A and B are shown apart, each in its own frame.
Chain A
Amino acid sequence: MTSSPAPHREDALNATKLRVAERRQSLMVLALTLPAIIAVCLVIVIPVGWLFSLSFLDSSGDLSLVNYEKMIAYKSYLRVFKTTFNVSFLTTFLCIVIGYPLAYFLSQIPRKYVGLFMLTVLLPFWTSLLVRTYAWLVMLQRNGLINNFAIDLGIWEVPVKLAHNLNGTLIGMVHIMLPFLVLPLYAAMRRIDRHALQAAANLGATPVQAFWQIFVPLSLPGVVAGSLIVFVLCLGFYVTPAVLGGGKVILVSMQITAILEDQFNWGAASALGVVLLVSTFAVLLLASRFLKLDSVMFGRR
């Protein structure tokens, strides 16, 4: 190369300066995040670690696997996990079926009307969970508003079982989870470049074709992000299934409460919590294998 040595030296000087500046910057970022890291350690890592350790102790405080052996020996534990995953899948599925058209509608109307229609999603979101859950119970029970209304109008003759079972649980959970799907999905749909759809039309695609071949694939990251949030929240859901399930839909969280309140067995309850946590991570790991979670959740490309 023919370049003179002088600028080369300047380059090197610059590089060292840059490196120093970079190191200082990363130290500063670390210092800034330190309070958050400490807080997370104190409120999450240490208690969860303590929970983990509890699950490996038996009732006399000795190290043992008795709590985990019990989970294999009794069929109820497996059933409860199955129910939890079933309910979570169904809730997520229904949220997508109901939430996708809603988010699509919100993304297509002029921005000045979005606020108004967004209220239909946000107003329930801001209302207390307990209030919404008990309101559903009043609506859905045997002599509730819906049954009485339908019987008065002659739509059906005997009360339909809407509450105190899987139906009620799903209705309540879908209603409460819907904003968690609609909000990220709406954001993803707003980001979709309209020119892509116009280009498709220009190339001869019908609106239906453009929707299915251009819009839907581009909105998928939003669907995945939203449904993952919903699914993971459902796995640990307590209040709504406890009230609207009538004791017939038993989820892991309810089993944990039962074991704590009526059997006073911290080890067994902790073991359930640990297995739930591990299976939640397993789901996320599985999802990340197939769905490039990074780009979905963190916007990395």
Chain B
Amino acid sequence: MNFKLLRQASQKTFLGAIGAAALSIVAIGTAQADPVTVVSWGGSYGKAQDAALFTDASKNSGIEINRESGASMSKVMLQVESGAVTWDLVVSGSGGCAAAAAKGALEKIDFNVVDVSDFLPNTYTDYCIGSDVFATVFAWNTEKYGEPGTAGAPNSWADFWDVKKFPGTRAIRLNNVDGVLEPAVMAMGVPPEKVYEFLSSEGGIEKAIAKIRELKPHISVYWKSGAMQAQLMKDKEVDMITGWNGRFDNAKKDGATVGYTFNQALRDYDGFGIPKGAPNKDMAMKFLAEVSKPQYQANLPFHITYGPTNKVAYEVTSAPKELLEALPSHPNNVSKMLAVDLKWYANYREKALEMYMELLSE
């Protein structure tokens, strides 16, 4: 053995090791920023987003994420107000997102980073980027009232209110007025396109509240979350319920005898917002740009029946025709629905919520 050679070799490895260590320190300093905290909801919705959007987008973009549950725009507003923002990207309904933006709790979206040129109309604002199109529908126990579309099955909000024709228990939303009054107005026979006109007119909200009061004796539970909607139908705790279409499809996949119709449903979208002063604002914006790309959105329908907001996703998706036809954003379904009017909510939400809370405590 040549000792000189050995010593040289060991010197080389020693230097190499130092070099590698130095390089890795540099690497830690630059590339490995804090993970982006992405907050969504529990139950099948969050799981669907993980499977379709977050995991792959994180892998492909190299942006590390830290996934949390329990998203709520009130918590965002609380974080912003107290100056202790820990969330970077937060899921919200369009209404909650708009309300938070109005209170100045969200960062403005940088449209140079996030590309919305292929988005469906009205699925993004300056502060919120839509992630999926969903519908507030009414669902029922198919053992009791029949499969959707068959003769005698419920088909309109008037049927939801008709406890003579469809005797049984009902469930509606607790403590939140989003998507609560429109059904009552349609149940009174007002056509979908006139609903917000009716609700904006003098005494409109009062009449809608009175219509809900009429149904109150038959409401056996008030739901608080999408997970609870699914659970109530799986347990057959109620016979007819309002809720979000994707939750019912997933409950059905789990064996629940539940069906729904898009007829007179409320079309709405969920989206992402970035809290004002988010610790990893720039990375969050990049991650938002990544998950908004069609190749991820195209996978969403496989996990929950919510439609992509990016039009290109419908072209690149491998989802079969039947699945696409079951999405709330499919043209056949869109024509049956009423689009949620965020302007009405901006003007009347506070008043409507207070009146609804009064009704709940009666």
Interface residues of chain A, those whose CB is within 8 Å of chain B, are 74-76, 79-80, 83, 141-143, 161, 164-165, 246-248, 250, 255, 258, 260-264
Residues from chain A with Cβ under 8 Å of B72 in the complex: 261
Asked if A246 contacts B361 (CB within 8 A), the reply is: no
Q: How many A-B contacts at CB < 8 Å in the complex?
A: 62
Number of interface residues of B (CB under 8 A): 26
State A260–B360 Cα separation when bound (angstroms).
17
**A143-B236, A164-B237, A248-B222 known; A264 vs B358 contact (CB < 8 Å):** no
Q: Can you list, as one digit per residue, whether each of B333-362 has a CB less than 8 Å from chain A (1) or not (0)?
A: 000000000000000001001100110111
Asked if B353 contacts A263 (CB within 8 A), the reply is: yes
For B100, the closest partner residue in chain A by CB is A264
**A141-B235, A141-B237 known; A262 vs B353 contact (CB < 8 Å):** yes
| B12 is an interface residue with CB less than 8 A from chain A | no
Residues from chain A with Cβ under 8 Å of B238 in the complex: 142
Asked if A262 contacts B175 (CB within 8 A), the reply is: yes
Report B186-226 residues with CB < 8 Å from chain A CB: 220-224
Residues from chain A with Cβ under 8 Å of B222 in the complex: 246-248
* Min C-beta distance of B283 to chain A, whole Å: 27
For A264, the closest partner residue in chain B by CB is B74
Residues from chain B with Cβ under 8 Å of A83 in the complex: 361
| B174 is an interface residue with CB less than 8 A from chain A | yes
For B177, the closest partner residue in chain A by CB is A262
**A142-B237, A248-B222 known; A264 vs B176 contact (CB < 8 Å):** no
Asked if B175 contacts A264 (CB within 8 A), the reply is: no
In the complex, which of the residues B74, B176, B235 contacts A260, with contact meaning CB atoms closer than 8 Å?
B74
* Min C-beta distance of A268 to chain B, whole Å: 10
Residues from chain A with Cβ under 8 Å of B357 in the complex: 74, 76, 258
* Min C-beta distance of B144 to chain A, whole Å: 12
* Min C-beta distance of A253 to chain B, whole Å: 13
Residues from chain B with Cβ under 8 Å of A79 in the complex: 361-362
* Min C-beta distance of A238 to chain B, whole Å: 13
List 28 A-B pairs, Cβ < 8 Å: A75-B358, A76-B358, A79-B361, A80-B361, A141-B237, A142-B235, A142-B237, A143-B235, A143-B237, A161-B220, A164-B220, A164-B221, A164-B237, A165-B220, A246-B220, A246-B222, A247-B174, A247-B224, A247-B360, A248-B221, A255-B361, A258-B174, A258-B357, A261-B175, A262-B175, A262-B176, A264-B74, A264-B103
* Min C-beta distance of A237 to chain B, whole Å: 17
Residues from chain B with Cβ under 8 Å of A141 in the complex: 235, 237
Asked if A261 contacts B74 (CB within 8 A), the reply is: yes
For B169, the closest partner residue in chain A by CB is A142
Report B220-248 residues with CB < 8 Å from chain A CB: 220-224, 235-238
Interface residues of chain B, those whose CB is within 8 Å of chain A, are 72, 74, 77-78, 103, 169, 174-176, 220-224, 235-238, 350, 353-354, 357-358, 360-362
Residues from chain A with Cβ under 8 Å of B358 in the complex: 74-76
In the complex, which of the residues B78, B175, B223, B235 contacts A258, with contact meaning CB atoms closer than 8 Å?
B175
Residues from chain A with Cβ under 8 Å of B175 in the complex: 247, 258, 261-262
**A246-B220, A247-B174 known; A264 vs B361 contact (CB < 8 Å):** no
State A11–B74 Cα separation when bound (angstroms).
71
Residues from chain B with Cβ under 8 Å of A142 in the complex: 169, 220, 235-238
* Min C-beta distance of A242 to chain B, whole Å: 8
The interface centre, meaning the residue of A165, A255, A262, A263 with most chain B CB atoms within 10 A of its CB, is A262
State A248–B175 Cα separation when bound (angstroms).
11
* Min C-beta distance of B85 to chain A, whole Å: 15
State A142–B358 Cα separation when bound (angstroms).
27
* Min C-beta distance of A197 to chain B, whole Å: 50
In the complex, which of the residues A250, A262, A263 contacts B361, with contact meaning CB atoms closer than 8 Å?
A250
Residues from chain A with Cβ under 8 Å of B169 in the complex: 142
Residues from chain B with Cβ under 8 Å of A246 in the complex: 220-222
State A301–B15 Cα separation when bound (angstroms).
82
* Min C-beta distance of B356 to chain A, whole Å: 10
Residues from chain A with Cβ under 8 Å of B354 in the complex: 74
**A143-B235, A262-B74 known; A247 vs B176 contact (CB < 8 Å):** no
State A262–B356 Cα separation when bound (angstroms).
12
For B223, the closest partner residue in chain A by CB is A247
For B350, the closest partner residue in chain A by CB is A263
For A242, the closest partner residue in chain B by CB is B224
Residues from chain B with Cβ under 8 Å of A76 in the complex: 357-358, 360-362
State A261–B178 Cα separation when bound (angstroms).
14
The interface centre, meaning the residue of A75, A79, A161, A264 with most chain B CB atoms within 10 A of its CB, is A264
Residues from chain A with Cβ under 8 Å of B224 in the complex: 247
Residues from chain B with Cβ under 8 Å of A164 in the complex: 220-221, 237
- With A76-B361, A262-B176 given, can you name 9 additional A-B contacts, CB distance below 8 Å? A74-B354, A74-B358, A79-B362, A142-B237, A164-B237, A165-B220, A246-B221, A258-B174, A261-B72
* Min C-beta distance of B352 to chain A, whole Å: 12
State A164–B172 Cα separation when bound (angstroms).
13
State A246–B357 Cα separation when bound (angstroms).
15
Residues from chain A with Cβ under 8 Å of B236 in the complex: 142-143
